[in-house]
């Protein structure tokens, strides 16, 4: 499965500020590509939401998907999901 790149992605070399959402990139033998899962958005969209021939391509696909999902949520008046946080236990 291949996903088209979104026209919303910044291409000028600057990054658009996005909340710190989780991005999971895994190799898929079935798709012969790296696939993207966005855990905080899994209850709103079918996963995977993107892919790429390389991890870098998959990350770009993830950033496109996040930008699109956030834009649609804001346009539709929906709240954004809370980003997950990761904390290392003091030890």
pLDDT tens digits for range 60-77: 999 999 999 999 999 999
pTM of the model: 0.73
Confidence of residue 85 (pLDDT cuts 50, 70, 90): confident
The DSSP code sequence of the chain is ---PPPTTS--SSPPPP------EEEEETTTTEEEEE-GGGTTTSPSP-EEESSHHHHHHHHHHHHHHHHHHHHHTTPPPPPPP---PPP-
Domain extents in the chain: 24-75
Q: How far is Cα 10 from Cα 53, in angstroms, rounded to an integer?
A: 20
Tokens matching residue 1: 């499965």
- Tokens 């012969």, residue located: 32
């Amino acid at each position: 499965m291949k996903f088209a790149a979104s026209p919303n992605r910044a291409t000028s070399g600057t990054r658009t500020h996005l909340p710190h959402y989780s991005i999971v990139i895994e190799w898929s033998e079935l798709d012969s590509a790296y696939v993207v899962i966005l855990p905080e958005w899994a209850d709103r969209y079918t996963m995977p939401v993107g892919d790429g021939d390389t991890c870098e391509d998959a990350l770009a696909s993830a950033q496109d998907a996040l930008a699109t999902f956030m834009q649609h949520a804001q346009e539709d008046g929906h709240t954004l999901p809370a980003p997950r946080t990761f904390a290392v236990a003091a030890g």
